[in-house]
């Protein structure tokens, strides 16, 4: 065989191998395309506007939540006892010698509840994206809020399935940070004010309020309100939410009584108090233990709270029902918007100062 014919054979072999390799690659690619049709594929550039849209909604809804809970002393939905007024409603942080002020965890939960209820309104069912060919389905959002020194971090578990052109993409969790908010400092100051008023209910230390504000770069104002109530307003002028961020709550200080004798020099009144105290020692009040309850909506719940003592009355601290102040009977029919676990406080008291508090849980389900 000549050298020229050998070269020709090599060229033919190389050509056959190249064609065979190309055919294998084509068949493999075809199989891959068949397998991938209908499966989840990555569309980072197409869904990034949707992610940005949701994150903006989380941030804006979070800012609205912060504004509302500031106006309502840390609460999205106020709990008893609270001050009802034609122009505003405020929580009592101190009421009848009882501290009802919220913890930072309580406030985080209230912000999360607001976002869970309002986020979908901002999302608007993704109508704008559906107009340009996206098919988007979603579950209910579940938020978790963390308040840091100068920020609030919001993470939302919001399962979403996005479909377009046969491709599917899923989103599970999204988050947003709201910076330059000082809710943690504001909460700390509100606690200092509450502790101060709890220890000395009939005194108002204006210099203390000034020091609290100066130390935390905040401004504190106090307003006298009827029925022995003080309204405290903490203002933050250096934040990213509003020109002035307001955080407001109320404290109801007790009237002069046998439990509060500061500045009293009426000898007859003091003797009456002494007699009442002696009477109280012989007739203490004790609310009997109350079990926790599981209650279904649209079914009547009835229970009689019992207590030991003489000439006592009952009161409750809940929006679920009104306890009969004489008999201690609780009776109400839970509604669907009351589903969830509720901590109930019941107080029994008499006119000479005896009292007892008892708490229990009512869990309302469908």
Of 332, 172, 353, 164, the residue nearest 259 (C-alpha): 353
Closest CA to 102 of 210, 222, 183, 196: 183
Give the pair of three-digit tokens for residue 339: 């589903």
Q: Which residues pair with 363 in a beta bridge?
A: 294, 341
Burial of 197 (0-12, 13-18, 19+ CB in 10 A): buried
Burial of residue 161 (CB within 10 Å: 0-12, 13-18, 19+) is middle
Q: Which residues pair with 308 in a beta bridge?
A: 286
CA pair distance 33, 65, nearest whole angstrom: 47
**pLDDT string in tens for the chain (366-residue length):** 444 444 454 445 544 544 454 544 444 444 433 333 333 344 444 788 999 999 999 999 999 999 999 999 999 999 888 999 988 899 999 997 889 999 999 999 999 999 999 999 999 999 989 988 889 999 999 999 999 999 999 999 999 999 988 888 899 999 999 999 999 999 999 999 999 988 887 788 999 999 999 999 999 999 999 888 999 999 999 999 999 999 999 999 866 556 555 445 556 655 667 676 666 666 789 999 999 999 999 999 999 999 998 889 999 999 999 999 999 999 999 999 999 999 999 999 987 778 899 999 999 999
Pick the CATH number of 267-365 from 3.30.450.70, 3.90.850.10, 2.60.40.10, 1.20.120.530: 2.60.40.10
Helices (H), the chain: 3-36, 44-71, 104-123, 127-130, 183-199, 206-216, 267-282
Tell me the domain boundaries of the chain.
34-255, 267-365
Confirm if 247 and 88 have CB atoms less than 8 A apart: no
């Amino acid at each position: 065989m000549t050298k020229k014919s050998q070269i020709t054979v090599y060229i033919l072999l190389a050509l056959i191998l190249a064609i065979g390799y190309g055919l294998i690659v084509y068949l493999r690619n075809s199989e891959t395309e068949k397998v991938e049709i209908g499966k989840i594929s990555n569309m980072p550039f197409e869904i990034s506007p949707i992610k940005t849209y949701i994150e903006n909604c989380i941030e804006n809804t979070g800012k609205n939540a912060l504004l509302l809970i500031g106006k309502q002393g840390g609460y999205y939905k106020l709990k008893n006892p609270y001050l009802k007024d034609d122009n505003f409603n405020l929580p009592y942080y101190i009421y009848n010698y009882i501290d009802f002020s919220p913890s930072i965890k309580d406030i985080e939960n209230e912000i999360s509840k607001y976002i869970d209820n309002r986020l979908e309104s901002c999302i608007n069912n993704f109508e704008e994206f559906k107009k340009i060919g996206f098919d988007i389905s979603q579950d209910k959002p579940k938020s978790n809020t963390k308040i840091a020194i100068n920020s609030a971090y919001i993470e939302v578990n919001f399962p979403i399935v996005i479909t377009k052109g046969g491709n599917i993409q899923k989103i599970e969790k999204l988050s947003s940070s709201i910076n330059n908010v000082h809710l943690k400092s504001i909460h700390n100051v509100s606690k200092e004010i509450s502790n101060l008023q709890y220890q000395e209910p009939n005194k108002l230390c204006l210099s203390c309020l000034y020091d609290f504000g100066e130390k935390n770069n905040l401004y504190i104002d106090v307003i006298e309100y009827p029925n022995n109530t003080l309204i405290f307003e903490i203002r933050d002028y250096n934040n990213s939410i509003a020109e002035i961020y307001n955080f407001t709550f109320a404290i109801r200080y007790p009237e002069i009584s046998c439990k509060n004798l500061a500045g009293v020099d009426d000898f007859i009144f003091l003797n009456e108090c002494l007699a009442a105290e002696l009477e109280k020692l012989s007739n203490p009040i004790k609310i009997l233990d109350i079990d926790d309850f599981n209650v279904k909506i649209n079914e009547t719940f009835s229970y009689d709270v019992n207590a030991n003592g003489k000439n006592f009355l009952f009161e409750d601290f809940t929006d679920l029902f009104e306890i009969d102040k004489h008999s201690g009977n609780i009776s109400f029919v839970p509604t669907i918007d009351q589903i969830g676990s509720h901590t109930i406080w019941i107080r029994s008291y008499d006119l000479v100062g005896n009292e007892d508090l008892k708490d229990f849980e009512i869990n309302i389900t469908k």
